[in-house]
Amino acid sequence: MKTLCHEHVVIDLSMMKNDPDAQMLDGTAILEDLQQTVASGIQRIIDVTNIGMGRDVRTAKALCEKACVAVSFSTGFYKEPFFPKIVLEKSESELAALMIKEITDGIENTGERAKLIGEIGTGNEISPTEAKVFRAAALAQRETGVPIYTHMTLGRLGLEQVKILKAAGADLEKVVIGHVDLNPELDYYLRLLDHGVYLGFDTIGKQTYQPDALRASLIVKLSNRGYAEKLLLSTDITRLSHLRRYGGYGRAYLMESFVPMLRELGLSDRDLNLMLSEAPEKLFGPF
C-alpha cells in the first residue's frame, strides 16, 4: 500500500500560532485533497495529529472513508508550547499510561486504536517537559511495541532525540526521526541511520524551507548507499493554504511531481517501492 507517513487530515494549531490559516478544518477542501491524493496513487495515510493539536479522529476518519483512503491514527503530545496542561502535571509513567490506553483501548470512544506515538517533538532546544514526553513514549512503546515518530524543529536535535529514546529503552528500529529534509546534510543523515532509525523526508513540497530538487538528490544519494528501506515520504500539510482549493500544491503533488523528480535522478522502481510501500508496511503493519 502506497503510504504517506506523516500527515494531518484535520488539524488546528491556530490558537498557538494565532493564524487562521493553521486551522485546517474545511471538510470540503480536505475531502477534495484526499480524493486527489487517492487518484495520484496513495492508498494509506499515517495521521500524526495528537493530543493538543486539534486532533479530531471522528471527522478525519469519516473524510478518509469518503475518499476511500486507509488511515492510521496517533497518540502522544507534540511539543512546547502546544502541550495541554496535563503534560506538565502528570509524571512520565502517567503519560505513558495515557498513551498505552489510546493504543490498546482506543481514542476518545471512537473505536480507533492509535497505531503509533507521534509526532512527539522538540523545539530549538529540548525542554524538560519535551524530554519527559520522549521518555514516556519509550515506556509506552516498550509495553505496546508501536512505532514512535518524532518532530525535529528545522531538522535539528535528531541525535539528541535518539539519545533520550535509547536511554529510556526505546526500540530504535521502530523510531522515525521526522523532518530530516528541513536540514539537508547527508553526513547528519548517515549518523542518524547508524542508530537504526528511519528518516522522515516528510515536508516534501515545502519549498520555502528547502527546494525539492535538493530533497530528491539527497534521497537518491541515500538510496544508492542502500538506505531506501529506511526512508519514509510525506508532505506534512498543515495549512489551508497548502490545499489546492486555497491555491496550494496539495498532497497529490508528491506522486504527481516529486516521484517523477526521483525517477529522473535514476531512483529505481525497487527503491521507490521500498519507501512508499514496503518500509511503511513493515513499520506500521498492514492496515
Q: Given the complex with Zn ion, which of 48 and 267 has the nearer CB atom?
A: 48
> Is residue 151 within the footprint of Zn ion (CB under 5 A)?
yes
* Binding segment (CB under 5 A) for Zn ion, from list 83-91, 149-157, 209-217, 252-260: 149-157
| Per-residue b or e along 167-194, where b marks 16 or more CB atoms closer than 10 Å to that residue's CB | ebebbbebbbbbbbbbbbeeebbeebbe
In angstroms, what is the minimal distance from the CB of 109 to Zn ion? Answer: 27
- Secondary structure in 3-state letters for the chain: CCEEEEECCCEECHHHHCCHHHEECCHHHHHHHHHHHHHCCCCEEEECCCECCCCCHHHHHHHHHHHCCEEEEEECECCCCCCCHHHHHCCHHHHHHHHHHHHHCCCCCCCCCEEEEEEEEECCCCCHHHHHHHHHHHHHHHHHCCCEEEEEHHHCCHHHHHHHHHHCCCCHHHEEECCHHHCCCHHHHHHHHCCCCEEEECCCCCCCCCCHHHHHHHHHHHHHCCCHHHEEECCCCCCHHHCHHHCCCCCCHHHHHHHHHHHHCCCCHHHHHHHHHHHHHHHHCCC
In angstroms, what is the minimal distance from the CB of 157 to Zn ion? Answer: 13
Q: Given the complex with Zn ion, which of 61 and 151 has the nearer CB atom?
A: 151
Q: Given the complex with Zn ion, which of 151 and 156 has the nearer CB atom?
A: 151
* Binding segment (CB under 5 A) for Zn ion, from list 97-105, 151-159, 219-227, 277-285: 151-159
Q: Given the complex with Zn ion, which of 15 and 39 has the nearer CB atom?
A: 15
Would you give the DSSP letter of residue 105? T
In angstroms, what is the minimal distance from the CB of 55 to Zn ion? Answer: 14
Closest residue by beta carbon to Zn ion: 151
* Binding segment (CB under 5 A) for Zn ion, from list 111-119, 126-134, 159-167, 168-176: 111-119
* Binding segment (CB under 5 A) for Zn ion, from list 8-16, 123-131, 148-156, 256-264: 148-156
In angstroms, what is the minimal distance from the CB of 79 to Zn ion? Answer: 8
In angstroms, what is the minimal distance from the CB of 238 to Zn ion? Answer: 8
* Binding segment (CB under 5 A) for Zn ion, from list 34-42, 62-70, 112-120, 227-235: 112-120
Query: Closest by alpha carbon to 215, among 257, 178, 258?
Result: 258
Local structure of 215: helix, strand or coil: helix
Using CB under 5 A as the criterion, what x/- string covers residues 115-134 for binding Zn ion? Answer: ----x---------------
> Is residue 79 within the footprint of Zn ion (CB under 5 A)?
no
Alpha-carbon gap, residue 103 to 118, rounded angstroms: 12
Q: Given the complex with Zn ion, which of 6 and 132 has the nearer CB atom?
A: 6
* Binding segment (CB under 5 A) for Zn ion, from list 85-93, 124-132, 147-155, 220-228: 147-155
In angstroms, what is the minimal distance from the CB of 152 to Zn ion? Answer: 8
Binders of Zn ion among residues 17 to 76 (CB under 5 A) are none
> Number of residues in contact with Zn ion, rule: CB under 5 A?
2
User: Where does this chain bind Zn ion (CB under 5 A)?
Assistant: 119, 151
